[in-house]
């Protein structure tokens, strides 16, 4: 009651009318972000949802049959093209399918969407406020990934919560922490950013590493036999070796582009080819709350490409992530074959174990999880 009165006084002083919480017997709740930005989800006077500021706290209800969310005024909420911003408008309808994942290690249930793990992006409006977007947002410069946890949810939400995507679980025996242990995020490394944008055609050719070397992260030059299995964790790292032929990329695939990218692909396990083993992942909560991830240190390059080896890169199930870009191909003046190698290491106990597709001429799987060199458009 005290918190309600305080909220009422605050919003009245701010000149905004408090919206009554939607009342029904279904699953209703409020939302709070968890990650590098922590705060309750607010709703402004035009229906945009945001973090920080002086607007009232948003109230929402989930229709589990239709997988739709409405705000306290009965307006439909969605994240749709072209902006993919989280917003609620009267009469407007979006195609976003919402769901609730079962409680995690911190005891909280999290909002998910479109059968994905539920990664949202908080993008700064000013020094105190952030708009909220889905992972489909094209330009994430300056944005940080967050999860949206349910607050003050009704009993019906417990029955609604599903097992969720398996990739949300902390399934690796390595780097197993609880959210409570990571409640205070550490200072981030430089987040990934590229001086040049890279758009990738889904049908563009790609190069898998021709070999992988595995080692103990505590012993810089240690390695063992090459295989397609990769372990990135506190104690293990890997080196990805690529051979770029002088004919890559084909000029008809990129036009006059002279830019290539290192792209990390992490499909959801249910979309992997039959027989392809699902990866073991330290979990969305661990990655977001601890600000963990990987660094890609360029250790070998015949072309001496500029590269920042200290950037923190985060990967999420269901997403293809651009790690960085570099000049490539005949258009850029490379008329010979070229070798490039990256040493990939864990940051803050991030853990990922997977089978890199496409390694070797007789690879069982040509596409799946891992890192590829691709041409930009």
- What's residue 17's pLDDT? 37
Please state whether the predicted TM-score (pTM) of the whole model is above 0.75. Answer: no
From the list 362, 343, 346, the residue with the least C-alpha distance to 301 is 343
- What's residue 375's pLDDT? 92
Question: Is residue 135 helix, strand or coil?
Answer: coil
Residues counted in the chain: 377
Omega cis (within 30) before 249: yes
- What's residue 115's pLDDT? 87
Tell me the HSE value of 277 on the side-chain side, using a 13 A CA sphere. 12
Whether the Cβ atoms of residue 155 and residue 25 lie closer than 8 Å to each other:
no
> What are the φ/ψ torsions at residue 127 (nearest 5 degrees)?
-75, -10
Residue 102: burial class (beta carbons within 10 Å; 0-12, 13-18, 19+): middle
pLDDT tens digits, 226-281: 689 999 999 999 999 999 998 888 765 545 567 899 999 998 888 899 999 999 98
| Matching residue, tokens 């073991």 | 280
Whether the Cβ atoms of residue 35 and residue 288 lie closer than 8 Å to each other:
yes
Residue 366 CA: distances (Å) to CA of 3, 114, 247, 333? 56, 26, 20, 29
Beta partners for residue 35, in sequence order: 146
Query: Residue 244 is encoded by which pair of tokens?
Result: 């770029």
pLDDT tens digits, 270-322: 889 999 999 998 887 788 878 899 999 999 998 778 999 999 999 988 889 99
Structural domains in the chain, sorted by start: 2-163 (2.80.10.50), 211-375 (no CATH)
From the list 127, 129, 134, the residue with the least C-alpha distance to 96 is 134
Listed in sequence order, the residues at least 6 apart from 264 whose beta carbon sits closer than 8 Å to its beta carbon are 313, 315, 320, 321, 323, 370, 371
Instruction: List the end-to-end C-alpha distance of the chain, in Å, as a whole number.
Output: 57
Question: Is residue 237 helix, strand or coil?
Answer: strand
The whole-angstrom separation of Cα 282 and Cα 272 is: 19
Tens-digit pLDDT string for the chain (377 aa): 444 334 433 333 333 333 444 445 689 999 999 988 889 999 998 899 999 988 889 999 999 999 999 999 899 999 998 899 999 988 777 789 999 988 877 788 999 999 888 899 999 998 789 999 999 998 888 898 999 999 999 999 986 665 444 333 333 333 223 222 333 333 334 334 334 578 888 888 999 999 999 876 544 444 445 689 999 999 999 999 999 998 888 765 545 567 899 999 998 888 899 999 999 988 877 888 788 999 999 999 987 789 999 999 999 888 899 999 998 877 667 777 899 999 999 999 999 999 999 997 778 898 899 999 999 88
Query: Residue 195 is encoded by which pair of tokens?
Result: 């001086």
């Amino acid at each position: 009651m005290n918190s309600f009165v305080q909220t009422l006084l605050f919003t009245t002083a701010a000149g905004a009318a408090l919206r009554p919480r939607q009342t029904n017997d279904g699953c209703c709740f409020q939302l709070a972000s968890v990650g590098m930005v922590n705060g309750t989800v607010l709703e402004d006077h035009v229906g945009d949802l945001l973090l920080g500021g002086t607007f009232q706290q948003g109230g929402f209800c989930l229709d589990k049959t239709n997988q739709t969310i409405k705000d306290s005024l009965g307006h439909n909420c969605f994240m749709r093209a072209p902006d993919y911003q989280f917003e609620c408008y009267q009469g407007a309808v979006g195609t976003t399918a919402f769901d609730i994942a079962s409680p995690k290690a911190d005891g909280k249930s999290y909002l998910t969407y479109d059968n994905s793990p539920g990664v949202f992006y908080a993008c700064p409006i000013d020094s105190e406020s952030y708009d909220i977007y889905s992972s489909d947002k094209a330009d994430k410069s300056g944005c940080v990934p967050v999860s949206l946890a349910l607050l003050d949810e009704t009993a019906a939400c417990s029955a609604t919560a599903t097992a969720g995507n398996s990739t949300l679980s902390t399934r690796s025996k390595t780097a197993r922490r609880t959210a409570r242990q990571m409640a205070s995020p550490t200072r981030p490394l430089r987040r990934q950013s590229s001086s040049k944008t890279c758009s990738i055609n889904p049908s563009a050719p790609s190069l898998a590493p021709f070999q992988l070397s595995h080692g103990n992260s505590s012993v810089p030059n240690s390695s063992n036999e090459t295989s397609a299995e990769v372990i990135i964790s506190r104690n293990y790292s890997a080196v990805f070796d690529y051979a770029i032929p002088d004919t890559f990329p084909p000029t008809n695939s990129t036009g006059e582009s002279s830019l290539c990218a290192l792209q990390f692909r992490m499909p959801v396990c249910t979309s992997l080819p039959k027989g392809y083993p699902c990866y073991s992942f330290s979990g969305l909560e661990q990655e977001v709350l601890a600000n963990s991830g990987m660094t890609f240190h360029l250790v070998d390059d015949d072309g001496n490409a500029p590269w920042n080896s200290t950037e923190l890169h985060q990967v999420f199930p269901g997403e293809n992530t651009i790690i960085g870009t570099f000049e490539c191909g005949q258009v850029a003046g490379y008329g010979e074959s070229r070798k490039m190698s990256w040493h990939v290491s864990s940051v803050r106990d991030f853990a990922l174990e997977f089978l890199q597709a496409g390694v070797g001429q007789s690879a069982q799987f040509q596409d799946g999880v891992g890192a590829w060199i691709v041409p930009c458009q």
